[in-house]
Amino acid sequence: MTRYVLRRAVEMLATLLVASFLVFVVTEFSPGNVARKTLGAFALQEQVDLLYQKLHLNDPLLVRYVRWVGVLTGVEADPLQDPALGLGFKDPRGDRYFGNFGYSTLYKAPVNDVLWDRLGNTALLAGLAFAVIVPLSLVLGVLAGMRAGSALDRAVSTLSIIMTSIPEFALGVLLVAVFVVAFGILPGTSPLDAHSGWSIASQLVLPVAVLAIYDSGYVARMVRASMTEVMAKPYVRTAVLKGLPRRQVILRHALRNAMIAPFTVILLQINWLIGGVVVTELVFAYPGFGRMLLDASLFGDVSLIEAATLIALFVATATQLLSDIGYRLLDPQARG
Amino acid sequence: MPLLSIRDLRVEYRTSRGTVAAIPEFSLDIEAGESFGLVGESGCGKSTLILAIMGYMGRNGAITRGQILFEGQDLVRAGAEELRRIRGGRIAIVYQEPATALNPSMTIGAQLVEVPLAHGMSSMVEARRQAAHVLADVHLPDPDSVMRRYPHQLSGGQKQRVVIAMALLANPALLLLDEPTTGLDVTVEATVLDLLNELRAKYGTALFYISHNLGVIAQVCERIGVMYAGKLVEDAPAAGLFRTPRHPYTRGLLASLPRSGADKRGAPLLPIPGVVPAAGRAPASCGFLSRCGHAAAGVCDAAVVPLLLAGPGHLVRCARWADLPEMAAPSPVARADAVAATDEIVMEAHDLTRVYPVGRRQLLANDRLTLAARRGHVLAIVGESGSGKSTFAKVLAGLDTATGGSLSVLGKEVAARPARRRAAALVAAVQMVFQNPDGTLNPSHPVGWPLARALHKFGIARDRRAAEARVSALLDMVRLPVSLRHALPRQLSGGQKQRIAIARAFAGNPELLIADEPVSALDVSVQAAVINLLLRIQEEHRTTLVFISHDLGLVRYLADEVVVMYLGQVMEAGPVSALFEPPYHPYTEALLSAAPVPDPQIRTTRIRLEGEIPSPLNVPPGCRFATRCPRKFGRICDDTPPPLREAAAGHLIHCHIPIEELRRVPPVFATTGPAPAG
């Protein structure tokens, strides 16, 4: 098992390396000149040309990629911070350190100052939502799948379809209408500002609720399908006809096998919660990671886009690794 | 009071087309300690009956009438907790497919201890001790290590032993066995059947054994019932049932099987016409009416036929049983090798080898195979699973390529030539029929489609009209109505699908047909019809047939030559008449001993193979069979590959034991009763 984990971890690093190259290529080749984006629309063409020269932007792609990795790993100094350019970009960490993602032109601050706060906010939201989604959908899915075709199954299945099919923004607006406008017991926006008159906890309730309701329906359906399948397996019949009480049949024989298939799906929700909940963040003015990535893309903030995409890729490959390891723990046959 | 008394039981299923009575009315008594076997083809309601006894019928099934009295208690009306105590405690069940009956994510030990813990034992230590004890009883070596393993780490035979151990753990009074050896190799099947007999003697458990295989039932049961369309049609002591079968259906089942000693040039197999009616569709008076050759108007269709007493302990549900002539015992036919050994050789393998690299190791699937088939002959290849039969078939058909040696088909070297690199004429000349007809027909195309496509691919029918005429001719050849060409595969029965597969294979007028277990998925009566058909077409076209099978009774009936394979090598080869008489290769002797014979009068001299076929990744260096050989006599068997000995012209045995000594081995089949046999 240890060897397997090590091998997979090395594979994950290789994947990240290849992905980082693709990210670099795609962002650097996006429409617009990197020098122009850095200086803004009002800079003179001479200034842009000068920066273009200084940044060696006409070097071959591979050379520029190696230089970018050099800056990221702290081997080379960030050329944008060169005082000779007169841009006034300053990073208190210096211009040469490991994990230097460069300078965000949108926020006029080092990427590291912007990125981690936003990621932290999103991790909080995602973590809370995940903590609701997993138990809720497991309970719903298992209850429904336990007796396929029963009244409970039909009720849960219908409920989960309704939950999944309401779009996030509609659900957000609906919840705001009820809890903010009608009852006035929750804030309508969640800027995570402690001085807004609402506690941070109360600001988190609605965004978490939207994500949990929207996603639980989907995951519950996955769990239900798997559970139904397992309940029809001959080994569940064996367990019943051994004389085991129904509780034991479900908990000991059905549940673990029914978890194998949805496990990957559940972990994939982490990816979605980190990078894909822009709509919810927008509806509640939540200062999250997804919204930051959207703003950076619209503005053309190359360094920030690259950094955020790399982080999202890291999260995706890490959950993949986690789900592969979990799969092997759940399913003895995968262990060989 | 009988241990189990089923009285007027009626089981119904709700389907989309209304309620169907899978079992219209069924009564049966089983005494304590008795072994009762119930035979019948698929769709007769056997499994429904077993599950009804256990009270496990799913959401759409229900017992609508009758009683199931077990130790005096009515299971139909038992509460959930009473039922739970009886399940696994007083009545246990052994399932058809041990691979799916065990939970893949729990260790064997964890699954076993649940049984005593659910039935009153509270100590985990004691439960584990008892589980290990029962595992030893079912002859699993090293029970403690088995308990720590997961199901996928055991072989099929070992898993079935675990399932049997699980059933016996609470020492039940009744053991239900649902085709427990189907899917196992004959050698493994034989040891499982021995085990059941041994355990029954030891624990005194009553057995209720259901199977479609009369041979297997004959090995284990004292009393046999025959079930048809949800009703018991005959119930008799085992010897009486085989000696004087009374019901036309029972006779039909027996006549469908090749009787020992018979061959294709003697008595043909006699299939039962028609098919088993769908549940609830059988005529009420006599369910067998529409398929019976003895049915008489006014007698058989007048009233519901009751079970009638036809002899001591012999019941039969047939209004005309007394009028039927005694079933003739098969007359011995002088076996003549009608095909001449001078016939042209169409397929010849020489030192053919197929090695698969597995990591750094080598999997020897075929190891220096040397064999040949002559025009118009039937060459049977037998051996346990893992012996390399199917690999050879694939190389021959061009679905795989050999890694060494030569293989010539119709004079062309094809060992390293896959089908896509063979000339179209050669592809058409070598065709294959597979085991599972369900998997070989595309479910979304009508069955005429693969036929027309084959004709097109082989360039036989140039235009649409010619193709249609040829498709009709092919359907006619396999005795299917031409209208069936537009039917979808799911509308066909298993036998019909296999006929389509045969028609497809014959579309290009093949000279060599490979049939890999073509009838093992079919019911006995259907099997007979398909075999008759295959042999008729093969003889008419003088096609060479390579017939791969584990059914030695069938092989004896239809083969001209037989090759016995073990771990990728030929152990013995020769004309069929020579192969079934001494001298035998010890492996052939073991296979013959293991074959279940549907006649209790023919006692087989038994030698049993211990253990399993070794992994082809790690073959023994000397004789491949040395690790399991009951006649192994020394180090030479382990160290030195055996010589090739010629027992008679064309009869080759690879063994260190001299032919003269092998000749002194008593024949496996010997008749004890009055019936003549080969």
Spatial separation of the C-alpha atoms in residues B446 and B443, rounded to whole Å: 8
Which residues, at least 6 apart from B260, have a Cβ–Cβ distance to it below 8 Å? Answer: B553, B556, B597, B599, B602, B669, B677, B678
The amino acid at A17: L
Q: Which residues of A97-127 are buried (b: 16+ CB within 10 A; e: fewer)?
A: eeebbbbbbbbebbbbebbeebbebbbbbbe
pLDDT of residue B339: 54
pLDDT of residue B603: 65
Q: In what order do the strands lie in the sheet with B206-211?
A: B91-94, B174-178, B206-211, B35-39, B223-228, B231-237, B314-316, B308-311
Decide: B339 and B377 in contact? Cβ < 8 Å. Answer: yes
Compute CA distances B136 → B121, B148, B613, whole Å.
Answer: 20, 15, 21
Decide: B501 and B492 in contact? Cβ < 8 Å. Answer: no
Question: Alpha carbon B335 to chain centroid distance?
Answer: 25
Q: Domain A113-335 adopts which CATH fold?
A: MetI-like fold (1.10.3720)
Decide: A125 and A211 in contact? Cβ < 8 Å. Answer: yes
Residue of B nearest to A259 (CA): B105
Q: Do the chains contact at B115 and A243, CB–CB below 8 Å? A: yes
Q: Do the chains contact at A243 and B95, CB–CB below 8 Å? A: no
In chain A, what residues touch B59 (CB-CB under 8 Å)? 149
User: Domains in chain B, please, with CATH?
Assistant: 4-221 (3.40.50.300), 231-258+271-323 (no CATH)
- From start to end of B77-179, where are the E strands? 91-94, 174-178
Number of Cβ within a 10 Å radius of residue B536 = 15
In chain A, what residues touch B93 (CB-CB under 8 Å)? 241
Spatial separation of the C-alpha atoms in residues B515 and B431, rounded to whole Å: 9
Q: Please state the three-class secondary structure of B218-264 as a single string.
A: HHHCCEEEEEECCEEEEEEEHHHHHHCCCCHHHHHHHHHCCCCCCCC
- For chain B, the straight-line distance linking the first and the last C-alpha, in angstroms and rounded, comes to 44
The per-residue pLDDT for range A193-226, each reduced to its tens digit, is: 888 888 889 999 999 999 999 999 999 999 999 9
Residue of A nearest to B169 (CA): A242
In chain B, what residues touch A244 (CB-CB under 8 Å)? 84, 88, 114, 118
Give the CA count within 13 Å in the CB-facing half-sphere of B78.
23
In chain B, what residues touch A248 (CB-CB under 8 Å)? 114, 118
Cα Dmax for chain A:
86
- Please give the average per-residue pLDDT across A40-59, as a whole number: 81
Mutation target for B interface from A241, A246, A250, A333: give the one with most B CBs within 10 A: A241
Give the CA count within 13 Å in the CB-facing half-sphere of B592.
26
Q: What share of chain B is helix, strand, coil (3-state, %, to 5)?
A: 35, 25, 40
The CA R_g of chain B, rounded to the nearest whole Å, is 26
Q: Do the chains contact at B95 and A248, CB–CB below 8 Å? A: no
B372 secondary structure, DSSP code:
E
Give the one of A241, A245, A330 whose C-beta lies nearest to B105's C-beta. A330
Residue A2: is its pLDDT beyond 60?
A: yes
pLDDT of residue B114: 95
Interface of A with B (CB under 8 A): 149, 233-235, 237-245, 248, 252-253, 256-257, 260, 330-333
Give the one of A241, A244, A332 whose C-beta lies nearest to B104's C-beta. A332
Spatial separation of the C-alpha atoms in residues B304 and A44, rounded to whole Å: 105
Of B158, B137, B139, B157, residue with least CA distance to B149? B158
Return the structure tokens found at B540.
């008419």
Spatial separation of the C-alpha atoms in residues B501 and B441, rounded to whole Å: 8
Q: Do the chains contact at A243 and B102, CB–CB below 8 Å? A: no
Q: Do the chains contact at B118 and A332, CB–CB below 8 Å? A: no
Helix (H, G, I), strand (E, B) or coil at B305: coil
* Segments making up each domain of chain A, as ranges: 20-100, 113-335
Decide: B67 and B53 in contact? Cβ < 8 Å. Answer: no
From A329's Cα to the closest Cα of chain B, the distance in A is 10
Spatial separation of the C-alpha atoms in residues A203 and A194, rounded to whole Å: 9
Query: Which parts of chain B register pLDDT below 70?
Result: 260-261, 328-342, 603-605, 670-678
Residue of A nearest to B83 (CA): A243
Give the one of B100, B114, B118 whose C-beta lies nearest to A234's C-beta. B100
Q: Do the chains contact at B170 and A332, CB–CB below 8 Å? A: no
| Dihedral, B221, B224, B227, B232 alpha carbons, nearest 10 | -140
Helical H segments across chain A, by residue range: 2-28, 34-39, 45-54, 61-73, 111-146, 151-165, 168-175, 200-231, 234-241, 246-248, 255-275, 278-283, 289-299, 302-330, 332-335
Name the one residue in this structure whose structure tokens are 């009055």.
B674
In this structure, are strands B61-70 and B73-74 parallel, antiparallel, or unpaired? antiparallel
In chain B, what residues touch A229 (CB-CB under 8 Å)? none
Q: Do the chains contact at B84 and A244, CB–CB below 8 Å? A: yes
In chain A, what residues touch B78 (CB-CB under 8 Å)? none
Q: Do the chains contact at B89 and A243, CB–CB below 8 Å? A: yes
Decide: B524 and B212 in contact? Cβ < 8 Å. Answer: yes
Question: Alpha carbon B411 to chain centroid distance?
Answer: 36
In chain A, what residues touch B103 (CB-CB under 8 Å)? 235, 238-239, 253, 257
Residue of B nearest to A255 (CA): B105
Which residues, at least 6 apart from B345, have a Cβ–Cβ distance to it below 8 Å? Answer: B372, B373, B374, B375
- Please give the average per-residue pLDDT across A114-124, as a whole number: 92
- For chain A, the straight-line distance linking the first and the last C-alpha, in angstroms and rounded, comes to 11
Q: Do the chains contact at B104 and A240, CB–CB below 8 Å? A: no
Give the one of B93, B102, B105 whose C-beta lies nearest to A241's C-beta. B93
The per-residue pLDDT for range B216-271, each reduced to its tens digit, is: 898 899 999 999 988 999 999 998 998 899 999 999 998 888 876 677 877 778 88
Of B606, B604, B603, residue with least CA distance to B672? B603
Decide: B567 and B614 in contact? Cβ < 8 Å. Answer: yes
Number of Cβ within a 10 Å radius of residue B312 = 8
In chain A, what residues touch B166 (CB-CB under 8 Å)? 238, 242
**ipTM of the shown complex:** 0.83
- Please give the average per-residue pLDDT across A88-109, as a whole number: 84
Q: Do the chains contact at B101 and A244, CB–CB below 8 Å? A: no
The amino acid at B206: A
Name the one residue in this structure whose structure tokens are 């200084």.
A54
From A229's Cα to the closest Cα of chain B, the distance in A is 13
| Continuous segment of H or E residues that includes residue B143 | helix B143-148
From A284's Cα to the closest Cα of chain B, the distance in A is 44
Give the one of A237, A240, A333 whose C-beta lies nearest to B104's C-beta. A333
